[in-house]
Amino acid sequence: MDIKQLKFLIALDETRHFGQAAARCHITQPTLSMRLRSLEEELGLPLVNRGQRFEGFTAPGERVLAWARTVLAAYDGLQAEAAACRGNLVGTLRLGVVPLSDFDPLTMMQRLHTEHPSLRFELSSLSSERILEQLANNRIDLGISYLERLDNERFEALPFSHTRMGLLYDQRFFFFGEEPLRWESLVELPLGMLTSGMHFRQSIDHAFHSRGLAPQPLLQTDAVHQLLQAVHGGLCCAVVPLDSGLKVLTEELRIQPIENAQTLVPLGLIMRRGAPRSALAEACFALYQKSITFP
């Protein structure tokens, strides 16, 4: 058994396709199949359900896959720890961020990359529930998520301030003057929103309902880019983080502040407490602690 075999197993889980897994690992498909069969023979267990195509993992395969992730994370952590002892950071920092966060990960990534050019980044947009799940399963190193009901025994967090909210619109289609908007004035607008259940949407719903207002969204979506496309096309306006930086995407977009508008729960930078915890995650966590420019 070697590290490469475990990487092949994880690649198959992530792609759910033998050919794509082989391509990701820069080997041929027959080589991938041969190395996985060799792993099965060594363990004395069938790991993969095979047909004309990949049909999933066996029950023992799922358990071995969980161990493979832990072993590979420990291996990557060892490499990163050795590099950190030499004064360098190497490897890939895996970061999960909730949709419509006013935390700009680009600032953090730029600073880390400047100080450590060999560092790479993997950025995922995930729900707050998925962020905690993937942190626990060691699929990501750090999360930017809401701190509501956070298990402090399992996760360490650095809180940000509450997110202020504003109305994003395209000035070619809408005009609101200079004064902050009131929630009562928004209810009649064509609004685009994230789907119900998302934390940011819950804060918007609370703001309306606490004032006895019942907006009827013109558009609901779970994809931020689709929401931005709809706003840019003049179909709707959208309540977004006031300091999200979205208005710089095009010259036409503007964000108008909303009175008494902030999220119900603050965001925070979250890292799991238990091992394996990479040197990359710890370095990023420490960097935020020393800086007030990120939130």
Beta-sheet strands, E only, within 73-212: 91-97, 119-125, 142-146, 155-159, 164-170, 191-194
Which pLDDT does position 119 carry in this prediction?
A: 84
Buried b (16+ CB within 10 A) or exposed e, 221-245: beebeebbebbbeeebbbbbbbbbe
Contacts with 264 (C-beta within 8 Å, 6 or more apart), sequence order = 148, 199, 202, 203, 206
Q: What is the pLDDT along the chain (295 residues), one digit of tens a residue?
A: 889 999 999 999 989 999 999 999 999 999 999 999 999 999 999 999 987 788 889 999 999 998 898 888 778 777 777 776 776 777 788 999 988 887 778 877 888 888 888 888 999 988 888 999 989 888 888 999 988 888 988 999 998 877 899 999 999 999 998 889 999 999 999 999 998 878 889 999 999 999 999 999 999 998 888 999 999 999 999 999 887 767 667 788 999 999 999 888 888 999 998 876 777 788 788 877 776 444 4
Report yes or no: 166 and 238 within 8 Å, Cβ to Cβ: no
Structural domains in the chain, sorted by start: 3-69 (1.10.10.10), 89-161+266-293 (3.40.190.10), 164-262 (3.40.190.10)
DSSP 246: G
Q: What is the pTM of this model?
A: 0.68
Omega prior to 99 cis, within 30 of 0? no
